[in-house]
Chains A and B, each alone.
Chain A
């Protein structure tokens, strides 16, 4: 079973939930797909077994073969190539690594170079496997890193938690591709409810079953809860607004490992999720 943990808005407690649900599931795998700000490892502090660099195609120009025809410059949809004095210049941050220039070059002057865009760390802590992807600063898209991590866990039978990037970008879509079930973490504000709607729409378009965890609950009305009820999103648990939980979390500690009451709280939410998700996947085996 692979469970993706998402949130529309930043700061709702997505990583808090993903980390603590994993922490109460020994033998599970935690995959951090929030590659721009991978914070999960700060909590788990895993012992890294191995680090793997992620590389993408990068056009390597052989200036001796180049005949200055400019076909590559004209073809590139991203304007990553330019020509000055019959010399090709490549702009790595703009290049999408499609390889089209190498195909269109009539004199085979462009070959496969490798450009490092980030790294995947694979480690363990307390019988939990932690896979964490990090995008190098300055790179715009980490989708190849997410795809590589997805391949690493594609065939596992273990319980997997995927900590997704916030929002509803392409990176979020790629992160939920291999998930069987999605968990939406919400906060009780109007902005939170609005951003929840955006990410919920994305989950619907990807045809994935989902449920919600309502975070930072206090006495007032919760527009996110209203949205969940209206849309029939099952609620797996409510986490009250709790300064102590906030403090433990801001210090980079795993709440479920620090205090028995938090352990029980997250274990309860987890068992509800497993029940709901098993029901969903049995009812709709094709999803």
Chain B
């Protein structure tokens, strides 16, 4: 089995668009969206089946039993997250500000503060001829490496495919590192901007530490600019193959809005994406099994 992970560092570089095109090109049988903060892949995939959904629980939060609360205010004094508020009948914990540290339970003289499960989002699995694993966080729900691990786990448990595509999270934090687990190759989709390059560097370093081979492509290239040379130089220095440039193409977002895959259009971006995909496959099957 080979697993391709698509990452970007910076948001808005076109990571999901490339992932969706690759899924279509390879007729991929198993794929996942690990961008659990703002999952978008399901919008292009348009699965005909309803997902099997199961709740994902975060760190438990705490709740004051208002029928028992004496109103002593000890919990209010120790909470460092300003999560406990006084009201006419006693004290109440704001579930969004509460971080679940349980310090308030240590000082309550009558132990009327109890742990309550905290629903942060749902894991979803679309099961038809293909498997598609994703998740959605509730607003204000904290993202975590654990949720990304779960998204990948539910795909792994059911999948018998020999090629998997993972749309990763933006950024470089804990969810990204979690999405790298088991990946055979990372494709970094960057854009010709300074922030694109600086984020590319941070993700590339992380992948290097985990010994995952990395390749780079530059998306949304409108005109030649010095930053493109900088990205190419950077890749050369880091010994990271730069495998292609995708031209900026106004029809891409338009077609996505209409629900049409780039692969079914004659757009100028399509040709580059096909070339990049061919190179990715080649490199992926050169790398040895992990």
Query: Given A168-B139, A194-B38: A173 and B11 within 8 A (CB)?
Result: no
Given contacts A75-B102, A96-B99, A190-B256, are A9 and B11 in contact (CB under 8 A)? yes
Contact B12 A10 (CB under 8 A): yes
Tally of contacts, chain A with chain B, CB under 8 A: 102
- Interface contact A98-B99, CB-CB below 8 Å: yes
Stretch at the interface among B76-84, B152-160, B233-241: B76-84
Find residues 158-178 in chain A having any chain B CB closer than 8 Å to their own CB: 166-170, 172-174
Instruction: Report B226-253 CB contacts with A as 1/0, cut-off 8 Å.
Output: 0000000000000000000000001001
Contacting pair A98 B103 (CB below 8 A): yes
Interface residues of A, count at CB 8 A: 45
Contacting pair A194 B139 (CB below 8 A) = no
The segment from A24-32, A99-107, A260-268 found at the interface with B is A99-107
Please state if B103 and A194 are interface contacts (CB–CB under 8 Å).
no
Complex Cα–Cα for A170 and B58 (A) = 13
Query: Do A202 and B254 touch across chains, with their CB atoms under 8 A apart?
Result: no
Q: Is the CB of B82 within 8 A of A223?
A: no
Answer whether A194 and B257 are a contact pair too, CB < 8 Å, given A77-B102, A98-B80, A173-B140.
no
Q: Are B256 and A189 in contact (CB under 8 A)?
A: yes
Main secondary structure of the interface of B (DSSP, over half): loop
Residue from B16, B140, B195, B253 within 8 A of A169 (CB atoms)? B140
Query: Which residues of the other chain, A, contact B140 by a CB distance below 8 angstroms?
Result: 168-170, 172-173, 202, 205
Q: How far is the CA of A10 from the CA of B171 in the complex (A)?
A: 11
Taking the complex as formed, is A118 at the interface, i.e. its CB lies under 8 A from any CB of chain B? no
For this complex, into which size category does the number of interface residues on chain B fall?
35 or more
- Give me 20 other A-B pairs in contact (C-beta within 8 A), A195-B40, A220-B254 excluded: A9-B11, A9-B38, A10-B12, A12-B12, A75-B106, A78-B101, A98-B101, A103-B78, A168-B37, A168-B140, A170-B142, A173-B139, A173-B140, A188-B257, A190-B40, A190-B256, A190-B259, A191-B256, A194-B40, A250-B193
Pairs A–B under 8 Å by Cβ, sample size 25: A8-B38, A10-B12, A37-B195, A77-B59, A77-B100, A77-B101, A77-B102, A78-B101, A100-B101, A103-B78, A103-B107, A140-B174, A167-B37, A168-B37, A168-B139, A168-B140, A172-B140, A173-B140, A189-B253, A190-B253, A190-B259, A191-B38, A191-B40, A195-B38, A202-B139
